[in-house]
Chain A
Amino acid sequence: MKLEHTVSIDAPHARVWAVLMDLPAAARCVPGTVDIAAAGDVVTGTLEVRVGPVKLSLAGTVTIESRDDVAGTARLRADAADHRIGGAVRAFVDVAVTGDAPTQLRVSSDIAILGRIGELGQPLIARQADKVLAGFADCLRAKVAAP
């Protein structure tokens, strides 16, 4: 499933980019994340999210697959699994930062729902994923705006 989010941030391009590329901080901006820790280039953590009547506890990693500081684009990869229900989520998240004060942040996600979690139904999952990513974008905006 593919999701798109765009936010406009009244802050300099460089600041937006810097916050985004501070991966542990960026990961903490995803609503519902706990136990975020950095180990080298890999950030580990758990995303606790409700999908309809079901509580998922998705433990996994986030890495930067590629980044282009000049163009202001990067591709992040997140892999997380819920071992209680049995299933996992794999997401490629392309971020693109354009413009300057206001700076546009575009988050394009390609999310695969793997295993039993998929039985909850795509529409429900899409809705929650959309909410989580919208929350992420909003949080980033707030973080960058903070002095």
Chain B
Amino acid sequence: MRPFDYVEPDTLDEALALLAGDPDGTLVMAGGTSLVILMKQDLVRPVCVLGLRRLTDLRAIDTKDGLRLGALATHGAIARADAVRSHAPALAATFAAVATVRIREQATVGGNLVHADPAQDPPVTLLALDATAVVRSSARERRIPLDELFVDLFETSLEPDELLVRIELPALPAGARAIYKKFLPNTLDDYATVSVAAVIATDAGGACTHARIALGGAGPVPFRARDAEQALLGRRIDDAAIKVAAALAAAATDPIPDLRGSAAYKRAMAGVWTERALREVA
């Protein structure tokens, strides 16, 4: 690792001012679990690292207008929070499924989203829960729906002078059921080969009134399988409907072949796990 400057502001305004001063030369570090590895490999060689750990306000988890996760809330804190569990147990389970306990107590939700690793777990469930990212620069605040945050592999729509400060999730439709399925055929601490989050609500007659299906590890970014969602709306979620939706979800994938599987295998598995997820929430 090469020497670099490290600054640790006490307030968000101070952090934003520092970032505005040299947006391209400054790397923002939240939990550091991804960044530090890249720095130790000398693949990333920052001039200046802006450490956020003193911004304790950004660790808050609360239930204003649904659920709000401060960007610096750790995976472990989110997995344990009652507010998260009562919003959607699947969300807590998603964060609990990330890597190992050592990583979960260090890695933050904000760092996770901004790193934009397509194999990560939290973006998938957050997409299915209609999350919005709240980002700030020294000049403005804006809200980015999560499916507009991810642009490409490890690339987001954040401007260099912007910080992700909060994730907001609206209240779920009454009776909605959510699930996250992480396919781990290798080791239990691995990234998902593919993963699926599904949120379903039905009316008294059993017809689907709300459907969200999001996929991870199935393309350059985590994404929603909107055709599959559409196919379920207004229908009874029976075996035939599930099979149709699963096939549409698989068709929407654009998997990157890697050591976790060929593109064809990942595509097929996206279908299998969509089907399994839907069966659990149907």
Decide whether A and B assemble into one complex.
Answer: yes
Which A residues form the contact surface with B (CB < 8 A)?
50, 52-54, 84-86, 116, 119-124, 126-128
Q: Which residues of B contact A128 (CB under 8 A)?
A: 153
A127 and B220 within 8 A (CB): yes
Question: Which chain A positions have C-beta within 8 A of B174?
Answer: none
**Minimum distance in angstroms from A115 CB to a CB of chain B:** 11
B42 touches A52 (CB 8 A): no
Contact across chains for A86 and B42 when beta carbons are under 8 A apart: yes
In the complex formed, the residue of A with least CB distance to B116 is A53
B interface SS class: loop
> Within the assembled complex, what's the spacing in Å between the Cα atoms of A84 and B154?
20
Specify the chain A residue showing the minimal Cβ separation from B35. Answer: A53
Tell me the count of chain B residues lying within 8 A, CB to CB, of chain A: 17
Are the CB atoms of B42 and A116 closer together than 8 Å? yes
**Contact, CB under 8 Å: B43 / A123:** no
* B155 on interface, CB distance cutoff 8 Å: yes
How far does the Cβ of B123 sit from chain A's closest Cβ, in whole Å? 15
B257 contacts A by Cβ under 8 Å = yes
> Scoring B residues 244 to 282 as 1 if CB is less than 8 Å from chain A, else 0, what string do you get?
000000000000111100000000000000000000000
Q: Is the CB of A54 within 8 A of B257?
A: no
Q: From residue B43, how far is it (CB to closest CB) to chain A in Å?
A: 5
Taking a contact as CB atoms under 8 Å apart, the answer to whether A124 and B153 are in contact is yes
Q: Which of B41, B220, B257 interacts with A119 by CB under 8 Å? A: B41
Q: Is the CB of A52 within 8 A of B153?
A: yes
Closest B residue, CB atoms, query A128: B153
Contact call B43/A116, Cβ cutoff below 8 A: yes
B38 at the interface (CB under 8 A from A): yes
Which A residues are in CB contact (< 8 Å) with B115?
53
Asked if A54 and B44 sit within 8 Å, CB to CB, the answer is: yes
* Mask: chain B, 115-157; 1 = CB below 8 Å from A; 0 = not: 1000000000000000000000000000000000000011100
